[in-house]
């Protein structure tokens, strides 16, 4: 419980001033990098406050000056903050469209050019997501996607969601040359907070980046 309180306090103390400072800066200058770097730094600080250490392998396998798609397993709410700060360069991500409606945070997601995905399964929604992904890749940004579409309750890999895993990957292949632009992230093992869990405990989280 103490680790959870420290993590939440760190998020609030660092997150609110950063939002007040860097969101207007991004609007004025059009440069989202300070906001992105601040978010990654805050994620590292929150993990550190919770006593969680991320051990990363394979960063040398990520090609420089090349946009990659990182397809990661999803076992915990810690997966995004444990992965984002340690991927070289700037990354976008595939997220639920409903998250774009969260005050302040949703606006920051738009500034960061995150890719919203609808779960209604419509062709129009899928086409919008693919178009957004194309624009992100064309700018040289990585894309991080949790291919199962939801958290695994027991840590075992779930079937990939269409439009999140193999479906969206094939759609992108039909429009963009992704040779040498594919990557796979794995090894963020089971650790709270998971479904129904409300506490954090010190741990080492191994993360491995590798080509597919």
Give the residue-averaged pLDDT of 29-41: 93
> Residue 132 and residue 127: Cα distance in Å, rounded?
9
Q: Share the mean pLDDT of the chain.
A: 76
The CATH architecture one would assign to domain 54-210 is 3-Layer(aba) Sandwich (3.40)
How many Cα atoms occupy the beta-carbon half-sphere of 72 within 13 Å? 30
Q: Where are the domains of the chain?
A: 54-210
What is the DSSP track for 149-204? SS--SSSSPPPPPTTTSHHHHHHHHTTS--TT-EEEEE-----SS-TT------EE
Do 36 and 112 meet the contact criterion of CB atoms below 8 Å apart? Answer: yes
> Residue 108 and residue 94: Cα distance in Å, rounded?
14
Give the residue-averaged pLDDT of 52-70: 81
> Residue 146 and residue 160: Cα distance in Å, rounded?
9
Q: Which helix (H) or strand (E) holds 127?
A: helix 123-138
> Residue 177 and residue 174: Cα distance in Å, rounded?
8
Give the residue-averaged pLDDT of 43-70: 84
Q: How far is CA 14 from CA 40, 89, 118, in A?
A: 11, 22, 31
How many Cα atoms occupy the beta-carbon half-sphere of 48 within 13 Å? 8
Is 0.95 surpassed by the pTM of this model? no
Instruction: Give the highest mean pLDDT range of 52-56, 109-113, 126-130.
Output: 109-113
> Residue 76 and residue 195: Cα distance in Å, rounded?
8
**Cβ within 8 Å of residue 23, ≥6 positions away:** 35, 104, 107, 108, 111
Do 93 and 143 meet the contact criterion of CB atoms below 8 Å apart? Answer: yes
Do 73 and 186 meet the contact criterion of CB atoms below 8 Å apart? Answer: yes
- The tens digit of pLDDT for each residue in 142-191 reads 998 887 776 766 666 666 666 544 444 434 433 333 333 333 344 444 45
């Amino acid at each position: 419980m103490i680790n959870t309180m420290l993590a939440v306090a760190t998020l609030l103390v660092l997150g609110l001033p950063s939002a007040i400072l860097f969101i207007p800066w991004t609007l004025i200058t059009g440069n989202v990098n300070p906001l992105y770097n601040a978010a990654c730094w805050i994620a590292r600080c929150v993990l550190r406050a919770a006593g969680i250490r991320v051990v990363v392998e394979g960063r040398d396998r990520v090609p420089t000056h090349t946009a990659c798609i990182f397809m990661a397993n999803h076992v915990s709410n810690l997966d995004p903050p444990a992965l984002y700060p340690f991927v070289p360069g700037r990354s976008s991500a595939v997220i639920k469209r409903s998250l774009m409606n969260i005050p302040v945070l949703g606006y920051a997601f738009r500034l960061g050019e995150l890719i919203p995905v609808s779960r209604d399964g419509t062709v129009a929604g899928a086409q919008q997501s693919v178009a957004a992904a194309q624009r992100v890749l064309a700018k040289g940004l990585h894309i991080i996607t949790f291919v199962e579409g939801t958290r695994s309750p027991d840590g075992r890999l779930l079937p990939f969601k269409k439009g999140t895993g193999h479906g969206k990957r094939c759609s992108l292949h039909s429009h963009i040359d992704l040779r040498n632009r594919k990557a796979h992230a794995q090894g963020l093992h089971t650790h709270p907070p998971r479904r129904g869990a409300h506490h954090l405990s010190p741990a080492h989280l191994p993360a491995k980046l590798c080509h597919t």
